[in-house]
Amino acid sequence: MDSLKPLVDLKDIKTDNLKINGAFNPTSEIDYDDLADILQIRFFPNNSDVVVHYLDENLGLLYEPSTMQVVGFHIEGFSNSFLKKNPVIAKSWNVDPAAIGNNLFEMRNLVIDREVLLSNEFSRISKRKIKEFA
């Protein structure tokens, strides 16, 4: 059986948003569905339809079909597969309770730091995968 071919060529998808510090910003949205084991990071508020273009069995780019611009990441098998292959992300995702701090401010700063690290690491991995297709 032939392998499935993407409907859109990766070269047509615009990756400008990946060049801006992993595209993380204060309005980025991170959503994890533990039942489906899917993590999504959107660089901007979730206000548009998106399409997933898979780079491998776990990682996909979310892009707007109207602009072809990458607006986030979609990761399937996040806990069961992806984290095992990406120790930097696993270390940031699995927080030691002792690292949380003593107050809400420290906890908030830890979350922001981890979100930035996760977004930057996803951006780095995506860029590497995109180069593999080029």
Domain span including residue 123: 10-133
CB 29 within 8 A of CB 58: no
pLDDT in tens, 58-87: 999 999 999 888 888 899 999 999 999 988
The predicted pLDDT at position 84 comes to 93
Q: Is residue 2 part of a domain?
A: no
Question: Does the residue 14 lie in any domain?
Answer: yes
C-alpha 13 chain-centroid distance: 16
More confident residue, 1 or 3: 3
Residue 109 phi, psi dihedral angles, 5° rounding: -65, -40
Inside any domain, residue 3: no
* pLDDT tens string 8-20: 777 788 877 666 5
Give the E-state strand segments of the chain in sequence order.
29-33, 38-42, 51-54, 59-63, 70-76
pLDDT in tens, 111-123: 778 777 777 787 7
Average pLDDT over residues 17-26: 56
Q: What's the pLDDT band for 21 if we cut at 50, 70, 90?
A: very low
Within a domain: 95: yes
Q: What is the pLDDT of residue 4?
A: 61
| Count of structural domains within the chain | 1
pLDDT in tens, 88-105: 888 878 877 776 777 778
Q: Give me the count of residues in the chain.
A: 134
Residue 1 lies in a domain: no
